């Protein structure tokens, strides 16, 4: 007698992140909803992923390995192609889920019509080095969100998302030609034909660390240009300038993280030229003129003078810094 088909397929692509991967898988195994399978796709890591899977010892985990590094989209696609579940949930190997994440998302999708293609949640943004909570993103956008997604990635990390398999059947797999923002591209293609629901609470821990793709300014710029080439005409001139401004801003932040201050200054100036009404670009340009120790001193002064409890990001998503999550 064959085991019953899992309702949810959890897809975890991984590449050389064994320390993170174990925690990610364990967060799935701790879910209150139990009818799932886990597909770990090893994109040709130099670390022993199979040993981690063996040590966890759960028959619901299946491991697939690429013989060469093929990139984010290909790794996700391998998981999708081998998935058995009616619902697909994605988890990056450096993120973690809270215990009720799957249960709440399955409840939403099972009670919504097939026209609702996916459901996403809020998430905590956590500094992985010391587990400090940086802020919390609480979503509020649902329904027909295609135009909103043209303006910005309203869903955020794919670790928050669960979709129906029917979405992939309708729009196809992840686009391997896009090096960064491949998740955003899939959201857009799904949103052309389906609506989205959201759960306005954080059910994911999104980890910030130096090895993220978003820390590479060249990768960020290539992704921005690929998405602009694909969706620029639909966005229109004004929205396109705002999106490009955000892309240059993000690349500038990545340069700051790499201590490439001159390049960061040039990118922040390009961001200002594209979107002169975005005050954050001016703020970061001025900050890039100072040394790190001077910036830290100014930040400490700001926290003493303005101990705000609630902040808002440029896209209107609530940010709620609430201290340390240890």
- What domains sit in the chain, N to C, each tagged with a CATH number? 8-208 (3.90.550.10), 213-289 (1.25.40)
pLDDT in 10s for each residue of the chain, 326 residues: 456 789 999 999 999 988 899 999 999 999 999 999 999 999 999 989 999 999 999 999 999 999 999 999 999 999 999 999 999 999 999 999 999 999 999 999 999 999 999 999 999 999 888 888 999 999 999 999 999 999 999 999 999 999 999 999 999 999 999 988 999 999 999 999 999 999 999 999 999 887 777 778 888 888 888 898 899 888 888 887 888 888 888 888 888 877 888 888 898 999 999 888 888 888 888 888 877 666 666 666 656 665 544 333 434 333 333 333 43
Overall pTM surpassing 0.75 (yes/no): yes
- d(Cα 139, Cα 197) in Å, to the nearest integer? 10
Phi, psi of 87 (to 5 degrees): -115, 145
Phi, psi of 9 (to 5 degrees): -105, 120
């Amino acid at each position: 007698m064959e085991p019953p088909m899992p309702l949810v397929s959890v897809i975890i692509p991984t590449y050389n992140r064994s320390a993170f991967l174990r925690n990610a898988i364990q967060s799935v195994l701790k879910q209150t909803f139990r009818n799932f399978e886990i597909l770990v796709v090893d994109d040709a890591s130099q670390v022993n992923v199979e040993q981690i899977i063996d040590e966890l010892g759960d028959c619901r985990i299946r491991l697939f390995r690429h013989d060469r590094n093929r990139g984010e989209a290909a790794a996700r696609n391998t998981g999708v192609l081998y998935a058995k579940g009616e619902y697909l949930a994605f988890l990056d190997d450096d993120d973690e889920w809270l215990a009720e994440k799957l249960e709440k998302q399955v409840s939403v999708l099972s009670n919504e019509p097939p026209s609702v293609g996916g459901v996403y949640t809020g998430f905590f943004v956590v500094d992985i080095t010391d587990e400090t909570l940086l802020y919390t993103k609480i979503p509020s956008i649902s329904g027909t969100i295609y135009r909103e997604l043209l303006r910005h990635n309203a869903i955020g990390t794919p670790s928050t998302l669960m979709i129906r398999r029917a979405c992939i059947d309708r729009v196809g797999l992840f686009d391997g030609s896009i090096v960064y923002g491949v998740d955003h591209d899939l959201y857009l293609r799904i949103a052309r034909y389906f609506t989205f629901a959201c759960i306005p609470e954080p059910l994911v821990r999104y980890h910030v660390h130096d090895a993220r793709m978003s820390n590479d300014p060249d990768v960020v710029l290539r992704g921005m240009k690929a998405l602009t080439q694909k969706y620029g005409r639909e966005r229109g001139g004004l929205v396109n300038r705002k999106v490009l401004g955000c892309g240059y801003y993000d690349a500038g932040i990545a340069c700051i993280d790499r201590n490439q201050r001159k390049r960061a200054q040039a990118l922040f100036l390009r961001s200002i030229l594209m979107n002169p009404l975005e005050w954050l670009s001016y703020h970061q340009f001025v900050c890039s003129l100072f040394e790190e120790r001077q910036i830290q001193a100014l930040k400490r002064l700001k926290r003493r003078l303005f101990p705000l409890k609630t902040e808002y990001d440029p896209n209107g998503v609530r940010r709620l810094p609430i201290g340390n999550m240890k």
